[in-house]
Chain A
Amino acid sequence: MSPETANLEEIVAQVPPARGVVEPLPPVNAEGEQLLEISMGPHHPSTHGVFRMNVVLEGEQVVRLKPVFGYLHRNHEKIAENAAYLAAIPYTDRLDYLCSMTNNWGYALAVEKLAGIGVPERAEYIRVIVAELTRLQNHASLIGFLMQDMGMSGTPLMYAFREREKILDLFESLSGARMMCNYMRFGGVRVDTSAEWLRQVRELNGEFPRFLDEFESLLAGNEILMGRAQGVGVLSPELAVSSGASGPMLRASGVNYDVRKVDGYGVYDRFSFRVPLGDHGDVYDRYMMRVLEMRESVKILEQAVRDIPAGPIMDPKARLRGLRPKAGEAYGRIESPKGELGFYLISDGTGNPYRYRVRPPSLINLTVLEDMCLGRGVADVVVILGSVDIVLGEVDR
């Protein structure tokens, strides 16, 4: 059926009726009493974007919480399926718009697996450097947002943004853009780093622990943080694994699972770093994971900038245009700052992916949002959501 001649009405009529679909539950409790239903978002300062939660309250307590998605849905997957492999890279920048570098890497990794493209050593090191810088700025700003959600008006967020600026400046001088970097290519990276750029990274990396110390001295013993975060939003390790939680949220529950260690993708198996784990799985642990991970990222950066070899940055076999992988499929995943970011691609031998799927860590981490919020007050919902670390560009795609 050609799209030009097809009548929309006819196509809609062919679609089976949505059977098995459930209606949302009415807001009543077991005794049939009417409960208070409030709609948090989509325009709410604490929802980090256009995200809505239908919260049902019994008294002060949350008894049901259903997230509502899709306000930022643009069918990213369909766009990528209708475009060449190369043309999807700038779109991945816009998934999790804080971490365009890691999004590029996840997609490039999946395509490299699909087409069997190698990556030169130097490019692998550059990828590690930019990915860890991304992790630093993502975690720093997340902590800032989280503190903002707790009502610490402004100061921690501004501190975090001050550091983030420096990293974004580095990204801009490397790739030409601060956030939408569009930097990686299948089989390498787009432009080489200069010695001066690496010197700037080393300098920033040397100063970063001082910022972390300052940040921690300000926050770690802070009464507001302790009061609002400890024991709030506890997630058990069993539920965390079953619900597919990933990244700092999974590790805060004490589950030792870091794709950088497990898969050792890129050259991560060459660096020595530890995977911090939490004990309680509460908001405080999730905050602490980010701080500790930043310290580990600083260590990785130190090693990567020290050991980076000279050489080419693109695989000689890799071509920019006209990539046509053999028919087949591949799933590539990386540890993005938000969690496990996966790309699933099916090729049918043409220039476009037949199926392009993003495994969005932000969305899947929200699976257990309701479980974490049950029995808490609305103010805690704000903090728990903040600690999950979502970006709506990725949740809704």
Chain B
Amino acid sequence: MLGIGIIQGLVETARNFFGSYTSKQRLTTVQFPDERLIQPEAARVFPFLVYDTDDWEKGLRCVACKICEVECPPQCISITKSADKKPDYSGIYSGKPQFYPEKFDIDVSVCMSCQICVEVCPFEAIKMDNAFELSTDDRFGGLMWDKQRLAMPNSHYQAIHPTDAAESDAALAEKKAKAEAKPAAAAAAAPAKPAPEKAGAATER
């Protein structure tokens, strides 16, 4: 009969309209920004640089090895390596002084949030942030993030990605333990030899 389809359609609409008061299945939207969905732990937006201790500049884990710069698919990272070395404030490089990035810029207008920089970083120094409300009125400067803008404490990483951060911390602790065990073992094995250069550098400091 002509018009049956219309009646069926109206019934469907009514079912969903009244259903939305009782069933979560039929009301799938939230009133952003008053209401917010919880982001999953894996959520990724733009990268940040991890630092330890309280000082963002001294505690940066990045050693300017430029692996992420090379591997970044849209080539949005630009790094200038320092001429001198800075002491190991983070305590993850077994006390050895390291190079540091004099300049570390990420052009977030180019970045495509692919996470490849995070995967290739051997030093757990760059991670993905999940902040997404990042609009700015400065088209160029505001989207070129320098290392100060990018630096975030490790506690931030632990807060947004607890599972990954625990893994990363464990990996660093293991690396540290290994590095500490090595000179100790070497010293035990060859007590007669003069102190190796590396140990000398450490004592100097």
CA distance A224 to B6 in the complex (A): 11
Measured between beta carbons, the chain B residues less than 8 angstroms from A165 are 28
Which residues in chain A, 216-270, are within 8 Å of chain B measured between CB atoms?
218, 222-224
Measured between beta carbons, the chain B residues less than 8 angstroms from A91 are 73
Q: A83-B73, A87-B73, A91-B73 are in contact. Are A176 and B42 (CB under 8 A)?
A: yes
Which residues in chain A, 177-196, are within 8 Å of chain B measured between CB atoms?
177, 180, 182, 190-191
Contact with A along B125-140 (1 / 0, CB 8 A): 0001000000000000
Measured between beta carbons, the chain A residues less than 8 angstroms from B72 are 87
B119 contacts A190, CB within 8 Å?
Answer: yes
Q: Does B194 contact A (CB under 8 A)?
A: no
A88 contacts B73, CB within 8 Å?
Answer: yes
**Among A84, A176, A182: residue with most chain B CB under 10 A:** A176
Measured between beta carbons, the chain B residues less than 8 angstroms from A213 are none
- Closest-CB distance, A257 to chain B (whole angstroms): 34
CA distance A222 to B12 in the complex (A): 13
- Closest-CB distance, A381 to chain B (whole angstroms): 25
Which residues in chain A, 303-332, are within 8 Å of chain B measured between CB atoms?
320-321
Q: Does A86 contact B (CB under 8 A)?
A: yes
Chain B contact-residue range equals 20 to 34
- Closest-CB distance, A58 to chain B (whole angstroms): 34
Question: How many interface residues does A have (CB within 8 Å)?
Answer: 30
Q: Does A47 contact B (CB under 8 A)?
A: no
Q: A90-B112, A91-B73, A218-B12 are in contact. Are A321 and B120 (CB under 8 A)?
A: yes
Q: Does A175 contact B (CB under 8 A)?
A: yes
The A contact surface, by secondary structure, is helix
Measured between beta carbons, the chain A residues less than 8 angstroms from B196 are none
Measured between beta carbons, the chain A residues less than 8 angstroms from B9 are 155
A180 contacts B73, CB within 8 Å?
Answer: no
Q: A84-B71, A180-B113 are in contact. Are A155 and B44 (CB under 8 A)?
A: no
CA distance A321 to B72 in the complex (A): 11
Measured between beta carbons, the chain A residues less than 8 angstroms from B44 are 176-177
B5 contacts A182, CB within 8 Å?
Answer: no
Q: Does A60 contact B (CB under 8 A)?
A: no
Q: Does B40 contact A (CB under 8 A)?
A: yes
B120 contacts A223, CB within 8 Å?
Answer: no
Measured between beta carbons, the chain B residues less than 8 angstroms from A176 are 40, 42-44, 115, 128
A182 contacts B115, CB within 8 Å?
Answer: yes
Q: A88-B73, A173-B41 are in contact. Are A222 and B113 (CB under 8 A)?
A: no
CA distance A24 to B120 in the complex (A): 50
